[in-house]
Each structure stands twice: as C-alpha cells, then as structure tokens.
C-alpha cells in the first residue's frame, strides 16, 4: 500500500476512517496496483519541478513564456523516456496583460466608485482594450430586471450587426444579415450597458463596437449563482481601444435603474495590452490500444501571470504525468489507446484544448471514447467534486456517455462523500463536450467559499475559499504543502488512476451506439481568470 504522506500530519483516527477509499466498483478492473504506484511523493516531485521552472521566470508559468516552456519540455521528456509516443502541437495566441487597476466610477447623477477586482464591483475582461473614457451610459434592449428564471436568460446585446455560427460559445462571429437589433437606437459614443446571458461576451462586445460604443459594461444576470462580478474573456482582441468590464448584478441594476429616469455618466479606465505569443500542447500516446476507442486524459500546464500555479494546475498536470509514468512502469497494456494531453493557454480561455479539438477530423472525433479532465485536485481547503455527467445534481447534462464517466467515479468513492460540480465551461473539457465527446473528471475547488456543511465533512475553514491562493502568487509548492491539500491530492489521484485504468481496459463503448450533443442547458462562456476576492 502506498505511503499516505498526509497521515503524518493528521491527528485524528476518526478522520482517517471517514476518508478511507471505498471498495472498488464492480467493473472487473482492479486498480489497486496502479493506485499504489501513483504516490503523493511522485506527484509532488513534479510540482516541485514546476515551482523551480516558475522561479526562474519571475514566478510564473504563463503559456508561451520560459516557465511554461520548461514545464512542457519536462513533461515531454518524462513521457518519452517512459515509452510514450510524444508530440507537441504548436499554436499562437493573444497574450493579455493588465498594467493598472481599472476604474469604473459613476460621476452623475451620483458619485460612486465601484470596487475593482471585487465580487461586489467589477473586473476587466480578458482582451479588453485600453482606454480612458467618460460618457453617458445607454442600456441595450432585452435587459431583464428582475432577472428571469435560470433557464430563461437575458438576450441583451446578442442581436446586432454580428451573430455567432456554432453552438456553446466556441463558434465564429460573423456578419448578421438582418433581424432584431438590440442597438437600434444606440447613440454612438455612449457606454453600452449589457446584461449577461444567451450569447458570448465576445458577441455582445462586438455588437456594441459596431454600434459605436465607447465602452462596454456587461453585468451579471441576477439569478442565484449569477450575481457577482466576473472576469470573463472576449476570446481574442476585438478592438485596440474599447474597454470592456464584467460587473456585479447590483452594479448593473443600479445603473440600469438610473438610465430609466435620466442621464447617467460613467468614467471607465483600463490599461491593457495584447501580444501574439507561441505556445504548445504536449501529447503522449500509449503505443498499445485500440485507436478507434481513445481515452483522452487532460490537464492544463499553464498558470496565470500572477503566480506559479502549483495547484492550478500543477496538481492535475503532475497527477496525470505520474499516472502515465506508473502505467508504463507496471507494463500495463491498455485495450484502448490512452492519450495524455497537457494543454496550454487554458488560462487565456481554453485555447489549447479548443485548438486541439479544432484540428481533429470527424473520424478522429468519433475515435475518442471519453475525455477525463483533472484541473485542480489538490486545493488546500478542498471538497471532493465529481463532474455531474447526467445533470442530476446541477441541471447541466454532458454528452451521451458522460453519466457513465460520473458513475465510475461515484462507484469508486462509494459511501465516501462527494459533491457534483457542473460542466460550466471553465476547463478543458469544454471543447470536447461541444463536439459530443463524453467527459468527466474531478475538481477540488477554486474561489468558492467552504460552507459549514462541507467543513463538517472535509474539515478546513468555513467561509474561506476552497483554494485561498487561487490565481494568486501564493499558489506555490509551499502553499500546497498542507494537510488538507495533500489529503486531497492523495484521494483524487487514486480516483483518477482508477478511472484512467477503467477506461483504458474497458471493452465496452462508453457512450452506447452514438455520441450526443449534450444537454441544451450548458453555458460555455469561459469565466476568465482575472477576478479576485
């Protein structure tokens, strides 16, 4: 049995009994050997290497920069030495930087400074332009206040000179040949007030730009779970000068109410730049296994500019690397080819996984049986989250077969408590789901606050973020060297190893006879990485 590093830190035998893994699912796969080989010490060695690469590059592993490139080289070398067929997939992307704290002030009829990078205020959207503008605020059509039901979202800003071709927010924005226009009476030079919902932030901002807006405020919808400010992404550069921010529902509601009775003036300031960078995905395939029933095992290797990303996502990257190495060391011969992928530029908007999927032929898409995603599995104030493939816990359904993936994890954990997490488009499974590939995985939490009920199950701090260093400089090797972080890493790496082996050895199709397109309730707007609590 493998060494449980965290047990030296824990002091309660009762806690240990509560978190002991359940009996294996009755699926014919005995994963005990692989789970014993995949140790916390092995994963932590990879995380330590990632930390060293970041330290040599101003404390970060941003896609395309030396810290990430060294990490990619490390992963590729390790996988190739273990006998995998390794390739790298190069692509270019727009790297976004913000140089100063943004400003959003109401100057008339009242004097109000909305807090920057705060859940009650606003945050600059990734790929926003850089500008300093004071202008009248004008609300678009289709704003819904009070907000509608969760399944009746606002269409504000979606109708205009442009439209999206392709579902789920991964389509292209093209000229709209006609139809309704949310900007029909918009006065050029005004700041557009738009409500979140239905279409991507990029389409809303593109339509505002075409209408002559001097700036864009996109505020949250207002339903439960959609009230806070959000740091979304525009998915690429749409203008060199148009500032775009994501605001809390309360901010938008206040401004909208004021526009209904008189003039409202706002001062917006953003100081940003976007440069073209080159980066790469790392792909390691098992030499054995059916190539018409491929198991993709993914994690992103890049960090945000603010820190080294040792939990986000050195934990997932290190875990799947260790699984790959130990499968090779144990000479496991998979029935189905296993394809480990370390995606780049996830933090810029799922760009690496989006690029990867975009390069697949229809045949290659059909040949992928399942996508297993591991993004943050060592959070210091963790919760055991399993992606809700059947939508029973969150209402968001994955493609046909995603329920099977969920069941593998739930069967493995058995009576050990877990919680469902939704396919909300915040990680690299998004583009796979969009083309109908079954998906699932594990997650231990990011900026969410731990509830008293969760603390009673997992321990930790009530009211603190599940990862207190999420997207911050303190997401370091030292910062993840805590009892709960190591406990999470141990439990989740075991479950990940079990699932990878299960799908690698299965002789059954994951999704039955065909691939579905997922449930219509999925919202794949990438939420971005810039908002801090």
List pLDDT tens digits, range 93-129.
988 889 999 999 999 999 999 999 998 999 999 889 9
pLDDT over 90 at 459, yes or no: yes
527 located within any domain:
no
Asked if 250 and 282 sit in the same domain, the reply is no
Asked if 128 and 255 sit in the same domain, the reply is yes
Q: How far is Cα 494 from Cα 497, in angstroms, rounded to an integer?
A: 5
Asked if 143 and 77 sit in the same domain, the reply is no
Asked if 219 and 286 sit in the same domain, the reply is no
Look up residue 118 and give its two tokens: 């705060």
**Residues above pLDDT 90, as percent of the chain:** 75
Domain stop point among 219, 243, 270: 270
Mean pLDDT, rounded, for 160-166:
75
Asked if 150 and 289 sit in the same domain, the reply is no
1 located within any domain:
no
13 located within any domain:
no
pLDDT at 522: 36
pLDDT over 60 at 506, yes or no: yes
pLDDT at 357: 97
pLDDT at 240: 65
Nearest-CA neighbor of 295 among 327, 248, 254?
327
pLDDT over 50 at 518, yes or no: no
Query: pLDDT tens digits for 227-263?
Result: 999 888 887 667 667 999 999 999 999 999 999 999 9
State the pLDDT confidence band at 171, using cuts at 50, 70 and 90. low
Our measurement of the distance from residue 157's CA atom to the centroid of its chain's CA atoms, rounded to an integer in Å, reads 24
Asked if 73 and 195 sit in the same domain, the reply is no
Asked if 297 and 375 sit in the same domain, the reply is yes
Whole-prediction pTM: 0.80
492 located within any domain:
yes
**Residues above pLDDT 70, as percent of the chain:** 87
For 120-130, give one letter per residue: b (16+ CB within 10 A) or e: ebbbbbbbbbb
pLDDT at 218: 97
Domain count, the chain: 2
22 contacts 412 by C-beta, under 8 angstroms: yes
Asked if 251 and 307 sit in the same domain, the reply is no
519 located within any domain:
no
Domain span at residue 47? 23-95+277-505
Average pLDDT, rounded, for the chain: 88
144 contacts 154 by C-beta, under 8 angstroms: yes
Domain stop point among 231, 248, 270: 270
Mean pLDDT, rounded, for 82-88:
98
Residue 360: CATH number of its domain: 3.40.630.10
517 located within any domain:
no
DSSP-derived 3-state class of residue 186 = coil
Asked if 338 and 192 sit in the same domain, the reply is no
Asked if 405 and 500 sit in the same domain, the reply is yes
The mean-pLDDT minimum among 14-28, 60-74, 90-104, 238-252 falls in 14-28
Residue 192: CATH number of its domain: 3.50.30.30
Look up residue 431 and give its two tokens: 């583009």
Backbone Cα Rg of the chain: 23
Active site residue 322: no
285, 346, 406, 525: the catalytic one is: 346
Q: What is the CB neighbour count within 10 angstroms for residue 507?
A: 9
State the pLDDT confidence band at 1, using cuts at 50, 70 and 90. very low
pLDDT over 90 at 220, yes or no: yes
Q: How far is Cα 210 from Cα 175, in angstroms, rounded to an integer?
A: 10
83 located within any domain:
yes
Nearest-CA neighbor of 58 among 274, 272, 307?
307
Residues 6+ apart with CB under 8 A from 95: 62, 63, 64, 274, 275, 276, 277, 348
Asked if 294 and 229 sit in the same domain, the reply is no
State the pLDDT confidence band at 512, using cuts at 50, 70 and 90. low
Nearest-CA neighbor of 124 among 225, 249, 216?
216
Asked if 67 and 132 sit in the same domain, the reply is no
Backbone angles phi and psi of 132, in degrees to 5? -130, 105
Domain stop point among 270, 296, 328: 270
State the helix-helix crossing angle for 314-329 and 483-505, rounded to 10 degrees.
Answer: 50
Q: How far is Cα 383 from Cα 380, in angstroms, rounded to an integer?
A: 9
511 located within any domain:
no
34 contacts 325 by C-beta, under 8 angstroms: no
pLDDT over 50 at 523, yes or no: no
The mean-pLDDT minimum among 22-36, 77-91, 247-261, 497-511 falls in 22-36
pLDDT over 80 at 148, yes or no: no
pLDDT at 235: 75
Task: Tell me how far apart the 2 most distant CA atoms of the chain are, in Å.
Answer: 73
């Amino acid at each position: 049995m493998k060494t449980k590093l965290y047990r030296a830190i824990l002091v309660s035998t009762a806690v240990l009994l509560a978190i002991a893994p359940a009996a294996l699912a009755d699926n014919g796969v005995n994963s005990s050997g692989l789970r014993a080989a995949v140790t916390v010490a092995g994963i932590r060695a990879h995380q330590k290497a990632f930390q060293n690469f970041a330290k040599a590059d101003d404390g970060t592993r941003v896609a395309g920069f030396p810290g990430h490139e060294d990490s990619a080289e490390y992963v590729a070398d390790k996988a190739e030495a273990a006998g995998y067929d390794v390739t790298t997939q190069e692509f270019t992307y727009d790297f976004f930087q913000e140089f100063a704290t943004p400003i959003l002030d109401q100057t008339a009829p009242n004097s109000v400074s909305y807090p920057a990078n705060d859940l009650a205020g606003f945050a600059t959207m990734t790929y926003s332009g850089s500008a300093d503008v004071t202008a009248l605020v004008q609300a678009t059509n289709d704003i819904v206040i009070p907000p509608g039901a969760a399944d009746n979202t606002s269409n504000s800003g979606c109708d205009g000179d442009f439209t999206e071709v392709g579902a789920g927010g991964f389509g292209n924005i093209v000229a709209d040949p006609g139809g309704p226009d949310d900007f029909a009476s918009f006065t050029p030079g005004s700041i557009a007030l738009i409500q979140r919902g239905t279409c991507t932030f990029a389409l809303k901002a593109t339509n505002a730009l075409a209408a002559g807006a001097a700036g864009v405020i996109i505020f949250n919808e207002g339903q439960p779970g959609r009230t806070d400010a959000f740091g979304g992404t525009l998915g690429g550069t749409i203008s060199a000068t148009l500032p775009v921010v994501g605001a809390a529902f309360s901010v938008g509601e206040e401004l909208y109410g004021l526009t209904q009775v008189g003039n409202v003036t706002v001062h917006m300031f953003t100081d940003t730049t976007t440069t073209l960078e080159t980066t790469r995905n790392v792909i390691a395939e098992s030499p054995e296994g059916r190539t018409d029933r491929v198991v993709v095992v993914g994690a992103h290797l890049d960090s945000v500019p603010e820190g080294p990303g040792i939990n986000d996502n050195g934990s997932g990257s290190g875990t799947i690397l260790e699984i790959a190495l130990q499968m090779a060391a144990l000479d496991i011969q998979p029935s189905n080819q296993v394809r480990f992928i370390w995606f780049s530029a996830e933090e810029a908007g799922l760009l690496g996984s989006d690029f990867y999927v975009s390069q697949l032929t229809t045949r290659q898409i059909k040949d992928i049986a399942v996508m297993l995603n591991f993004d943050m599995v060592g959070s210091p104030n963790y919760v055991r989250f399993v992606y809700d493939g059947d939508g029973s816990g969150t209402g968001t359904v994955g493609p046909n077969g995603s329920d099977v993936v969920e069941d593998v994890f739930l069967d493995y954990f058995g009576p050990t408590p877990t919680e469902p997490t939704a396919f909300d488009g915040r990680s690299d499974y998004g583009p796979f789901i969009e083309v109908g590939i079954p998906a699932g995985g594990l997650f231990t939490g990011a900026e969410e606050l731990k509830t008293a009920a969760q603390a009673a199950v997992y321990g930790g701090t009530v009211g603190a973020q599940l990862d207190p260093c999420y997207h911050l400089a303190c997401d370091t090797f030292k910062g993840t060297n805590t009892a709960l972080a190591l406990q999470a890493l141990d439990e989740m790496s075991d479950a990940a190893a079990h699932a990878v082996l299960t799908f690698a050895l299965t002789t059954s199709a994951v999704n039955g006879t065909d691939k579905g397109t997922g449930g219509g309730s999925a919202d794949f707007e990438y939420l971005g990485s810039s908002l801090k609590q």
